[in-house]
Amino acid sequence: MFKHFFQQLKFKAMARQLRKPSGAMGNKVGEMMNKANGFLYDFAFDCMKIKHGEAILEIGFGNGIFFEKVFAQADGLHLSGIDFSETMVKAAIKNNQHLISTGKLQLHHGSSDTLPFADNSYDIIFCINVVYFWDTPQPHLQEIKRVLKPGGKFYAIIRTKESIEQMPFTRYGFTSYTIDSWKSLVQENNLHFINAIPRDEPEILYKGNYIRSQSLCLVTEKTQ
């Protein structure tokens, strides 16, 4: 009984840190996410097909080590980021001083349900493994719609419901989505659902077992 109780506490702590990394453990979680998410950034770039001069916002950038890869996609980009974790924002600022000092990159601490940006500002908004943590997704989607330019696209990279449910810590504070449930949600918030692009991930070793996951790039457009 006690072993099960402490195991639950460990899973809950991991879920809290993935939602909002904090302190020394938060920095370790940020490094762990870098290893897990590198494949997903490449997947996102394949889907987004970033063009010269576009304005891009990333929601939930972690410690910011992938900003250089964003800039490598095209010339003349204008890049902003917002993250819920003060620990991650501090780490990202430290890791990207050269980009911030030139004005190419602007980083903000805050939540995506209250975005500190003007209406119609961005061609692309994207996030990777973030939407699970939106307790009330409607205000986040409404803010995303507000700051997207007409014709701008929102790319949400998530793991499938079946993949998420393989991990025991996702029982605590994660909301998983099917393609249909996500489509209904964005349509309720006056965004146009375009498509869902699947991608199989490399196998990962977890607790002595190999787990195969599949991710989706859920593509949504602001039509007006």
Beta strands in the chain (DSSP E): 55-59, 78-83, 105-109, 122-128, 148-159, 192-200, 204-206, 209-211, 214-221
How do residues 114-162 score in pLDDT, each as one tens digit?
Answer: 999 999 999 999 999 999 999 999 999 999 999 999 999 999 999 999 8
User: Mean pLDDT, to the nearest integer, of 9-18?
Assistant: 75
* Whether the predicted pLDDT of 4 surpasses 70: no
pLDDT on residue 9: 54
Arithmetic mean of pLDDT over the chain: 89
* Whether the predicted pLDDT of 109 surpasses 70: yes
* Whether the predicted pLDDT of 8 surpasses 60: no
Task: Sheet containing 214-221: give its strands across.
Answer: 105-109, 78-83, 55-59, 122-128, 148-159, 214-221, 192-200
Domains identified in the chain and CATH numbers: 2-221 (3.40.50.150)
Share of the chain above pLDDT 90, in %: 71
Share of the chain above pLDDT 70, in %: 94
How do residues 46-89 score in pLDDT, each as one tens digit?
Answer: 999 999 999 999 999 999 999 999 999 999 999 999 999 999 99
